[in-house]
Amino acid sequence: MGKIVRTTVTTLFLCLLFPIVFSTSNDRLVRIGLKKRKLDPSDLLSARFVSKEGEALRGSLGKYHHHGNLQDPKDIDIVALKNYMDAQYFGEIGIGTPPQKFTVIFDTGSSNLWVPSSKCYFSIACYFHSTYKSSHSQTYKANGKPADIQYGTGSISGFFSEDYVTVGDLVVKNQEFIEATKEPSLTFVLAKFDGILGLGFQEISVGNAVPVWYNMVNQGLVKQPIFSFWLNRNPADEFGGELVFGGMDPKHFKGEHTYVPVTRKGYWQFDMGDFLIDNETTGFCASGCSAIADSGTSMVAGPTGIITQINHAIGASGVVSQECKAVVSQYGDKIIDMLLAKDEPKKVCSQIGLCVFDGTQGVSMGIESVVNENAGKASGSLGDSMCSACEMAVVWMQNQLNKNQTAEHILDYVNQLCDRIPSPMGESSIDCKSLPSMPNVSFTIGGKLFELSPEQYIVKVGEGDAAQCLSGFTALDVPPPSGPLWILGDVFMGQFHTVFDYGNMQVGFAEAA
């Protein structure tokens, strides 16, 4: 997505997903089969801890303006706050003649096409992904204009080139795109995709590059100036869904679409009404909010006031808080015993198996800095998060022992502190067994309620007894006049077939089939 909020070497699992690409001649629709990957706990932690940059950017939304062509200084740079680490849906394109294949996220929240360049020599990420080789293409045209895109959890820089881009059986001629020569963030090392194909408006295109979608329309390659997403949310089905260029497939939806006009070109932004929990108004958007339909964001992001109400209603708690409490529950007594035995505090967590290194994780740092470090852990693994939770617990317990507190008091005190730890990327977990008691939630769009059940807004990570359940909602505050703002990502778009009508400048939603 462009903005949001809106995803290891331990996660590496670098299963690049090469989707089915096909089209049918009878309806003249161009269909891009999407591959879907299941999230596992290490993917989840990669998304959460891969970079503290994302959290810093979230906290200073008002300071970030768009790097594209929007002129209003109050415009929020959604692209700069984007985290693709937990993205689940990918498609395949080709660049050049003959086509060189790349796995990309089709992202309605940004507008540029970029892939790694063979001229990327000093970024590890480029060695884990397909790279574009201009010398291998008969249709390459040099451009050379520099380009830079800052995301919430990393950045890419490089230069513009031109070549033919194959999407399904469409060939877009002379498409300007970015050859990324620097991908310094670990985010792109761990990513399951090679690049991004933006489907937003030219107004937010870095370098004012004409988006791929515009050229599809301008070159007469599609039947209608419409594209549509059907995301398959059935966890048992490996087929991820379809992106259809040139129209929509009636088999992908039920009933009629509700259309709302695009209120601000740049993102696919529209007006949204009240948000309801269990059919009761939250009041926050009763006078109206803005929303963005964003295929590049996995979760649904909204104002903190509403997200807090949602998480309270569904019993969600901070993910890091839960991990901290797990450490206290499983290892609290042992840690206290080790500290009483005068074991070196910095080595306690490694000695009980939660940390790999002896005292190199920063136990002596202030608690605030340890929490911040969680947001930027390089490996993003489950072990890293448990290690950080252990280190914090050791600091707290040692301080209480120095005050001659009892073990019972210390464990209770540390549990209370666990409750106050913020989740670095704003995500919250819940007890998977509590789904039947959770309320439905509803979005008001075009005067109609679009309802999500708990099974639809809860993201399940992992399988069986080891499965974790996450709230599909995350907090993101955009100040007026751009906000309050919702980002409707895959959690929403998976339940409602979404039509992006470029010809009539509107977005449509209908129940997904």
pLDDT digits over 133-153, tens only? Answer: 999 999 999 999 999 998 766
- Residue 490 is predicted with a pLDDT of 93
Local confidence band at 83 (pLDDT 50, 70, 90 cut-offs): low
Beta carbons within 8 Å of 386's beta carbon, 6+ residues apart: 323, 326, 327, 354
pLDDT digits (tens, 9 = 90+) for 325-339: 889 999 999 999 999
Question: What's the token pair of residue 452?
Answer: 């999500």
Q: Could you confirm whether 237 is annotated as catalytic? A: no
- Residue 117 is predicted with a pLDDT of 98
Residues 252-283 as b or e (16 or more Cβ within 10 Å = b): bbeeebbbbebebebbbbbbbbbbbbeeeebe
Beta carbons within 8 Å of 381's beta carbon, 6+ residues apart: 8, 10, 11, 42, 45, 46
Paired strand residues for 49? none
Diameter of the chain measured on Cα atoms: 80
Kindly report the number of other CB atoms within 10 A of residue 482's CB atom.
18
| Interval 146-174 mean pLDDT | 91
Burial of 13 (0-12, 13-18, 19+ CB in 10 A): middle
**Among residues 172, 194, 207, which one has the least CA distance to residue 91?**
194
| Interval 459-481 mean pLDDT | 80
Distance CA 145, CA 156 (A): 14
Residue 1 has pLDDT above 60, yes or no: no
Q: Which has the minimum average pLDDT: 53-57, 289-293, 425-429?
A: 53-57
- Residue 231 is predicted with a pLDDT of 93
| Interval 4-33 mean pLDDT | 44
Residue 82 has pLDDT above 80, yes or no: no
Q: What are the C-alpha distances in Å from 84 to residues 296, 299, 436?
A: 7, 11, 30
Distance CA 244, CA 228 (A): 5
Distance CA 401, CA 336 (A): 8
| Interval 389-410 mean pLDDT | 89
Question: What's the token pair of residue 350?
Answer: 């490694």
User: Residue 36 in 3-state DSSP?
Assistant: strand
Question: What's the token pair of residue 76?
Answer: 């929020």
Q: Could you confirm whether 294 is annotated as catalytic? A: yes
- Residue 172 is predicted with a pLDDT of 98
- Residue 481 preceded by cis peptide, ω within 30: yes
Which of 294, 384, 490, 501 is labelled catalytic? Answer: 294
**Higher pLDDT among residues 444 and 422, named by residue:** 444
Contact 500, 268 (CB under 8 A): yes
Any long-range contacts for 401-406 (C-beta under 8 Å, 24+ apart)?
A: 401/336, 401/339, 401/340
pTM: 0.74
Number of helices (H), then strands (E), belonging to the chain: the values are: 13, 27
**Higher pLDDT among residues 124 and 83, named by residue:** 124
Question: What's the token pair of residue 286?
Answer: 């009763």
Which of 86, 107, 194, 384 is labelled catalytic? Answer: 107
Kindly give the pairing relationship between strand 113-116 and strand 170-182: parallel
| Interval 464-469 mean pLDDT | 78
- Residue 86 is predicted with a pLDDT of 57
pLDDT digits (tens, 9 = 90+) for 180-225: 999 987 778 878 899 999 999 999 999 999 999 999 999 999 999 9
Distance CA 6, CA 425 (A): 11
Q: Return mean pLDDT, the chain.
A: 80
Distance CA 78, CA 70 (A): 12
| Interval 493-508 mean pLDDT | 97
Residue 391 has pLDDT above 50, yes or no: yes
- Residue 57 is predicted with a pLDDT of 36
